[in-house]
């Protein structure tokens, strides 16, 4: 198999917040890798824009350092070539400084993309500045990062503000989970195989679990996280997107609005969540790490670093099938997976002594991407018909070799912006629908003064999350170590 890089047009990518953390860790390394893959054609450039007063050479040195830290550039012969494609402008989003300089740097005829790698409070100023200084035309694109709002009201206000200056087809709202290769694979597995789709409904599926477990805490992002919590930071966006992809109807085409229409229908069909179907947790100090409350510097914090919930999608396909979602920080291991648990066979011809067996399909999103299907077979040996479940295990790394080394989500997403493909980006109505589902849950906690339950760091979260599933006669798949 040969990696294929589809050619893109010559472009100028302006990164507002070009000296920020996201730029250093994600955007610059991603573009550097695309440069190495030949996807910065002609004289395509990245122009950093930020308040820091520095010139082009200083920015190049800054980027070199970032790449040394976050991209594997050891011995690279391409690094200088990439640095040569960089430029920088000192710019004040809210004032006049730098805009005219930036305008002078833009080359007519190239694709123009403006990446707002800044806090949402500057989105409106930047959108306005681009128009005021004639930097954008109707082919230009803007890219905005999460968090897209803090609740429905603020998300709507942001959407309205951006809509004053740009068409929806020009706005790329990033949810980096959609750029992950394995997340896209969810669609390939579901809609590329005849095997699964006929069984993909409440008649054959007992329940679905989605787990995104992290070992990291919130240290360093305490102030943001204290206001967000796991619900806003992960559930409203990444988890919701995974849920959509696993539950949506087949879109007619793999095209932006076909896919996004189907995702939107899932979110809109979500029932409100009962308070006793939610478990929140907060990690405590252990194993040499600080507690959540120490990390966010608030000894009385009521913010959750863990959340597990059970939800239902009220539509023809999923009526009666629970979806269990959980995500948290400082858990036993870093592992994101989706497990589809099929129902038992309706009748066992082997009698009660053969036990109860069912199939489970697990899609491991990260790390060690792969798919496992548990299949029931006869236990080898004499002694009658005893059944056991064995995994049909496919690790992508083993099956695909070096091809399995998938590009970082940001590489895929940035190139999609340049290509003008919005399939993997969230539409305004999708984001608002997700907030409309999330808001009442958070308001309920606030009204009740709900306090998350403590859990030891590097475990599976609070006991309540286990109990919630056990009460239904089910169990979480273990968070793999």
- Which chain residues interact with ligand BG6 by CB under 6 A? 214, 233
Give the three-class secondary structure for 209.
Answer: strand
Beta strands at 86-90 and 45-50: parallel, antiparallel or unpaired: parallel
Nearer to ligand BG6, 219 or 420 (CB): 219
Min dist CB 309 to ligand BG6, Å, is 18
Nearer to ligand BG6, 40 or 479 (CB): 479
Among 162, 127, 136, smallest CA distance to 428 is for 162
Nearer to ligand BG6, 47 or 71 (CB): 71
Min dist CB 232 to ligand BG6, Å, is 9
Angle at 214 between CA 208 and CA 219, to 5 degrees: 145
> How far is the CA of 96 from the CAs of 91, 103, 126, 129, in angstroms?
8, 12, 11, 9
Let me know: does 453 contact 280? Beta carbons within 8 Å.
yes
Nearer to ligand BG6, 226 or 233 (CB): 233
Catalytic residue numbers, as ranges: 238
Angle at 68 between CA 64 and CA 71, to 5 degrees: 110
Let me know: does 284 contact 454? Beta carbons within 8 Å.
yes
**Strands lying side by side in the sheet with 11-16:** 86-90, 45-50, 11-16, 111-116, 141-144, 171-173
Helices marked H in 106-251: 123-132, 152-163, 181-192, 222-230, 240-247
Min dist CB 82 to ligand BG6, Å, is 24
Looking at residue 389, the DSSP 8-state letter turns out to be E
Task: Provide the CB-side half-sphere exposure for 5 (13 A, CA).
Answer: 17
Min dist CB 42 to ligand BG6, Å, is 31
> How far is the CA of 335 from the CAs of 240, 302, 403, in angstroms?
17, 25, 21
Q: H or E stretch including 436?
A: helix 428-448
Nearer to ligand BG6, 214 or 226 (CB): 214
Q: Which residue is nearest to ligand BG6 (CB)?
A: 233
Say how far apart CA 131 and CA 41 lie, in whole Å: 27
Nearer to ligand BG6, 129 or 328 (CB): 328
Say how far apart CA 256 and CA 241 lie, in whole Å: 14
Give the three-class secondary structure for 380.
Answer: coil
Nearer to ligand BG6, 87 or 337 (CB): 337
Min dist CB 329 to ligand BG6, Å, is 7
Return the bridge partners of 378, or none: 387
């Amino acid at each position: 198999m040969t990696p294929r890089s589809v050619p893109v047009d010559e472009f100028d990518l302006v990164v507002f917040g070009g000296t920020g953390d996201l730029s250093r860790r994600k955007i610059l390394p991603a573009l550097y890798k695309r440069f190495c893959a030949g996807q910065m054609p002609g004289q395509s450039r990245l122009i950093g824009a930020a308040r820091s007063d520095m010139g082009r050479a200083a920015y190049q040195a800054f980027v070199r350092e970032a790449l040394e830290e976050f991209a594997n550039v050891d011995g690279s012969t391409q690094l200088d070539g990439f640095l040569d494609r960089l430029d920088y402008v000192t710019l004040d989003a809210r004032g006049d400084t730098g805009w005219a300089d930036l305008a002078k740097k833009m080359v007519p005829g190239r694709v123009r993309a403006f990446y707002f790698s800044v806090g949402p409070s500057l989105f409106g100023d930047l959108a306005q500045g681009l128009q005021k200084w004639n930097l954008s035309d109707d082919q230009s694109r803007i890219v905005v990062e999460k968090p897209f709002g803090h609740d429905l009201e603020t998300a709507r206000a942001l959407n309205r503000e951006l809509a004053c200056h740009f068409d929806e087809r020009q706005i790329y709202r990033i949810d980096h989970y959609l750029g992950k290769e394995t997340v896209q694979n969810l669609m390939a597995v579901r809609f590329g195989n005849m095997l699964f789709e006929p069984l993909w409904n409440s008649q054959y599926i007992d329940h679905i679990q989605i787990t995104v477990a992290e070992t990291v805490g919130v240290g360093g992002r305490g102030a943001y996280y204290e206001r967000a919590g796991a619900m806003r930071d992960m559930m409203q966006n990444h988890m919701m997107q995974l849920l959509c992809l696993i539950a949506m109807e087949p879109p007619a085409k793999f095209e932006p609005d076909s896919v996004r229409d189907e995702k939107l229908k899932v979110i809109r069909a979500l029932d409100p969540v009962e308070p006793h179907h939610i478990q929140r947790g907060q990690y405590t100090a252990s194993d040499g790490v600080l507690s959540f409350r120490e990390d966010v510097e608030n000894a009385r914090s009521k913010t959750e670093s863990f959340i597990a919930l059970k939800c239902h999608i009220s539509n023809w396909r999923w009526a009666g099938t629970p979806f269990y979602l959980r995500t948290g920080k400082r858990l036993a291991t870093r592992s994101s997976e989706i497990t589809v648990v099929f129902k038992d066979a309706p009748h066992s011809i082997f009698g009660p002594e053969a036990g109860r067996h069912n199939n489970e399909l697990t899609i491991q999103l990260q790390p060690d991407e792969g798919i496992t299907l548990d299949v029931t077979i006869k236990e080898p040996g004499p002694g009658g018909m005893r059944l056991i479940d064995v995994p049909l295990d496919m690790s992508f790394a083993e099956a695909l070799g070096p091809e399995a080394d998938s590009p970082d989500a940001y590489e895929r997403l940035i190139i999609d912006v340049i290509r003008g493909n919005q399939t993997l980006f969230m539409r305004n109505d999708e984001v608002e629908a997700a907030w409309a589902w999330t808001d009442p849950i958070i308001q309920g906690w606030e009204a009740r003064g709900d306090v998350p339950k403590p859990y030891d760091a590097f475990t599976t979260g609070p006991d309540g999350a286990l109990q919630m599933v056990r009460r239904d006669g089910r169990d979480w798949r273990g968070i793999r170590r």
